[in-house]
Amino acid sequence: MAAVPNKIMTWQMVQPTSKNKETGEVIPGKLEKKELPVPELKAGEVLVEVAGCGVCHTDLGYFYDGVPTVSKPPLALGHEIAGTVVAGDAAWMGKEVIIPAVMPCRQCILCKTGRGNRCLAQKMPGNSLAMYGGFSSHIPVPSIDLCEVKNRGNVPLAHLAVVADAATTPYQAAKRADLQPGDNVIVIGITGGVGQYMGQTAKALGAKTVIGIARNQEKLDRALKFGADFVINSTGKDAGAVSKEFRALCKSKDLPGTGWKIFEVTGAKPGQELALTLLSFTGKLIVVGFGLAKTEYAIGRLMAFDAEIIGTWGCLPEYYPIVLDMVLSKKINIEAFVETRPMSTIAATFDEAHRTSPSRRIVLTPDF
């Protein structure tokens, strides 16, 4: 069993990227290595030695795009975490765990009515959990929400960090969509960090047809091996052109024109506009990706189409064991979509991922 540390090493966002309002000059953000004392653990808390933490689009939003965090900088980012319990609650000592990206209070009306994934008092590593995030050597968290990892075989524990968000957020989205066996699904942004698992999750839950839409043909070809039945390359096409291509595909493959469940995963305005264009009779649009753009829509169309637009956030900790089992039983493939790098590369990795969406989810492993 790993020893209890006498300090916690962490990479902190001491300053997010910003813009000078007068000159328009971009002021680069700063990430610095810091040393923190090990906190005194409260009853029901544990200290987890981090095996790996995934680099999520949300982290980049905090660092580059002005998305606010609950706890203000300096703050260690990172909410996609797997590791081993080294102190605290005796029942968890030595166990390998996944830490949910959002941990509900379990006391409020939302928690008590099954909506704890959007609990307003929830704790989120790398956002509201004081100074502590996943880009660290260790992190203190409540034990009640932990997902124990058992029988992982030859799957590296660090790789399972993606279960904390990228692989569980799609499951919550599928639940919100009331996805049923035989449903027909569109995933806009199927090649992204969450989208690649959205397609796989939909198929694993029994979707009859999954159509993936994105702009990278190489990644689209890969999606055909992992969940997607058909793909559409949206490069250089407006929403109308993609919609026309979608209708032609439906006609040629004898697919229905109604009742599609559309998962918008990009969070980008073009993706949102496309999703709203594709939303038709008795369809459901599930908004998974976060973005700051405003998108115009004739809301009366929802009445005319008897359609729905649904938002979804995070994933209930109760669902984590289900998703973990889907991963370990190979119903969802993560190995083809994960790469690890030393945590000391965090600045370069952030820059690279911000400029170009990586082909695999990058998980940073501590090397302090």
Give the pLDDT of residue 1: 62
The CA distance from 171 to 196, in Å, is 12
The list of the chain residues with pLDDT below 70 reads 1
Closest CA to 280 of 319, 309, 307: 307
Q: What is the DSSP letter of 243?
A: H
The CA distance from 72 to 237, in Å, is 40
Give the pLDDT of residue 21: 86
Q: Strand order in 261-264's β-sheet?
A: 230-233, 209-214, 184-188, 261-264, 284-287, 308-311
Q: In angstroms, how far is the first alpha carbon of the chain from the final one?
A: 19
Q: What is the DSSP letter of 131?
A: T
pTM tops 0.85: yes
Residue 352: enclosing H or E segment and its boundaries? helix 346-355
Residue 19: enclosing H or E segment and its boundaries? strand 18-19
Residue 142: enclosing H or E segment and its boundaries? strand 138-142
The CA distance from 253 to 361, in Å, is 32
Domain 8-166+315-365: which topology?
Quinone Oxidoreductase; Chain A, domain 1 (3.90.180)
In this structure, the number of other CB atoms found within 10 A of the CB of residue 262 comes to 26
The conformational region for residue 56 under phi > 0 = left, psi -120 to 50 = alpha, else beta, is: beta
In this structure, the number of other CB atoms found within 10 A of the CB of residue 178 comes to 12
Q: Which CATH architecture has domain 169-311?
A: 3-Layer(aba) Sandwich (3.40)
Give the pLDDT of residue 258: 98
The amino acid at 177: A
Closest CA to 62 of 78, 82, 50, 47: 78
Can 8-166+315-365 and 169-311 be said to share one CATH topology?
A: no
* Boundaries of every domain in the chain: 8-166+315-365, 169-311
